[in-house]
Amino acid sequence: MEIADHKGGINNDDNSIFRIKLGPITFKWVAKHFGYIHNLQFQDKMIKGPFKKWIHTHSFIPQGQNQCIIEDKIDYMHRFGKIGSKIIQKRIKNYLNQLFIYRERILINDTILEEMTREKGKNILITGSHGVIGSSLIPLLTNIGGHKITRLVRKINNNNTYSSPTTNKEDKKSIFWYPEYDKLDHHELEGFDIVIHLAGENIFGRWTDIKKQRIFNSRVGSTKLLAKSLTKLSNPPSLLICASAIGYYGDRPNEYITEDSIPGKGFLSEVCQKWEKATQDVTELGIRVVNTRFGVILTPKGGILQKLLSPFKLGLGITIGNKDQYISWVSIEDVIKSIFYSIINTSIKGPVNVVSPKPITNLEFSDTLKKIFNPKLSVSINQNIPKLIFGEMSKELLFTNTYVIPKKLVSTGYKFFNSELEDSLRFLLGKIESK
């Protein structure tokens, strides 16, 4: 579900338009708010969408001082009549049950983060805001931290050439930059409290020389440009969070790796080392810098999990490569929450391993997906096949063996939202088992 448009808030006659993808089908859901009672209730009614009737009542029932019960009631009617009614009804109830379990867990954890947040309403500049991490992070920053977000975005012509800045009609809260041409007006960066740099070329795909250059430039080149611009400011931010990756460590079987471990070898390691080094001028200026070394990020919106979902949903369980190879994974929820935690915990600086405290083997990962989806057929794919298709990428990305520990996050008190693989996958995929 994505918010396509939002007019007003949750007051009477305010509207929300959602874009929903259900398998191959995409449709709009238009909701109109009514029944607003301050601090007690708001309601929304579907005026366009898949249901014949849908009224959702959100109630907040006081339970003494500083406590309440949050209650959701949905009055709905599907469009399928009596034919197949029991099957449809069962699927709708199962979907709603998964939805509310998901929302409950998110809400509980967000409440914990909210209680830890002492300073709200910061001005935050974000690159890569439309990517997998950025699009998940922004709602957390705005809803829990009350922060004000501005996007730093690229703008190029259809022929992929530089164009002069024009007024941004699509998003008034954006600043344009042109990292391909080393162009950024540093004056537009004045007044931001925090900068979060997440932009970078997608590393999936065959690594041709051109692809590798784009991967390198989009990370190292853009970070150098941003860092140089920040050092010119009369009112620089207090914090720069810059993405990095555990590719910094290279292929390191039989080692326990922490932030203190030396860098490895290979293309990704070289990129990560220079990527992090590009923030050095900012550090020397006295700005707190956090280099988030992301592990294998699990989300159905992208990455390796998204690519494996289709065959598993079709009943084909897949294991690729060495079954004993370790995967240092992390759920998208812990990615965005660890970034949020790095903002509110000022003791965190330098490289930070953003991974689960419980790495798993390739076989455990595959077996867990099989347990969740129960495929009819299982297939093991020799690693030579991906190597033939993807070349160098498969060796450095798919078959790198690293056992990475989030030493810094754990030592500073971060509580992981998803630390167990099966629970994480069920939570992310809407497959949570009812108690």
Q: How many CB atoms lie within 10 A of CB 208?
A: 12
- Are residues 299 and 150 located together in one domain of the fold? yes
pLDDT number for residue 172: 53
CATH number reported for the structural domain that contains residue 45 in this entry? 3.30.530.20
User: What are the φ/ψ torsions at residue 426 (nearest 5 degrees)?
Assistant: -65, -40
Rounded to whole angstroms, how far apart are CA atoms 176 and 184? 8
Same domain? For 187 and 273 the reply is yes
CA–CA gap between residue 407 and residue 30 (Å, rounded): 45
Among 79, 101, 130, the domain-final residue is 79
Which three-class secondary structure state does DSSP give residue 84?
coil
Query: What does the pLDDT profile of the chain (435 residues) look like in tens digits?
Result: 778 888 888 999 999 999 988 777 888 999 999 999 999 999 999 999 989 999 999 999 999 888 899 999 999 988 877 766 777 888 888 889 999 999 999 999 998 899 889 889 999 999 999 999 999 999 999 988 899 999 999 875 544 444 444 333 344 589 999 999 999 999 999 999 999 999 999 888 888 899 999 999 999 999 999 999 999 999 999 999 999 999 999 999 889 999 999 999 999 999 999 999 999 999 999 999 999 999 999 999 888 898 888 899 889 998 887 888 999 999 999 999 999 999 999 999 999 999 999 999 999 999 999 999 999 988 888 777 767 666 777 777 777 899 999 999 999 999 999 999 999 999 999 898 766
Amino acid (one-letter) located at 385: I
Query: Among residues 101, 402, 125, 84, which one has the least CA distance to residue 238?
Result: 125
124 contacts 195 by C-beta, under 8 angstroms: yes
Q: Please tell me whether residue 122 adopts helix, strand or coil conformation.
A: coil
Residues 403 and 350 reside in one and the same domain: yes
Instruction: Return the closest-CA partner of residue 245 out of 265, 222, 273.
Output: 273
* 105 and 55 part of one domain: no
> Helix, strand or coil for residue 135?
helix
Residue 373 lies in a domain: yes
Closest to 186 (Cα-Cα) out of 238, 225, 223: 225
User: Are 188 and 242 contained in the same domain?
Assistant: yes
pLDDT of residue 160: 45
- pTM of full prediction above 0.85: yes
Claim to verify: residue 136 and residue 182 sit in the same structural domain? yes
Q: Are residues 129 and 60 in the same domain?
A: no
Beta strands (DSSP E) in 345-407 are 350-354, 360-361, 377-381, 403-404
Same domain for 223 and 136 = yes
Task: Identify whether 435 is part of a domain.
Answer: no
Q: Are residues 325 and 295 in the same domain?
A: yes
Taking CA atoms, 265 is separated from 39, 327, 390, in Å, by 56, 18, 19
**Whose CA is closest to 299, among 272, 323, 269, 330?**
330
- 107 and 72 share one domain: no
Strands 41-48 and 350-354, by their bridges, are unpaired
Give the Cα separation of 305 and 318 in Å (integer).
12
54 part of a folded domain:
yes
What sign results for the dihedral spanned by CA atoms 310, 315, 321, 324?
positive
Q: Is residue 211 part of a domain?
A: yes
10 in a structural domain = yes
Q: 146-165 burial string, b = 16+ CB within 10 Å, else e?
A: ebbbbbbbeeeeeeeeeeee
Domain span including residue 376: 121-429
Q: Residue count of the chain, please give it.
A: 435
For residue 85, count CB atoms less than 10 angstroms from its CB and return exposed for 0-12, middle for 13-18, buried for 19 or more: exposed
Per-residue pLDDT at 434: 67
Residue 229 lies in a domain: yes
Domain count along the chain: 3
Whether residues 239 and 319 share a domain: the answer is yes
CATH of the domain at 345: 3.40.50.720
> Does 434 reside within a domain?
no
CA distances for 433 relative to 22, 98, 259, 418, angstroms: 21, 9, 36, 16
* Domain-embedded: residue 147: yes
Quick check: 348 and 408 in contact, CB under 8 A?
yes
Asked whether residue 258 falls in the same domain as residue 348, the answer is yes
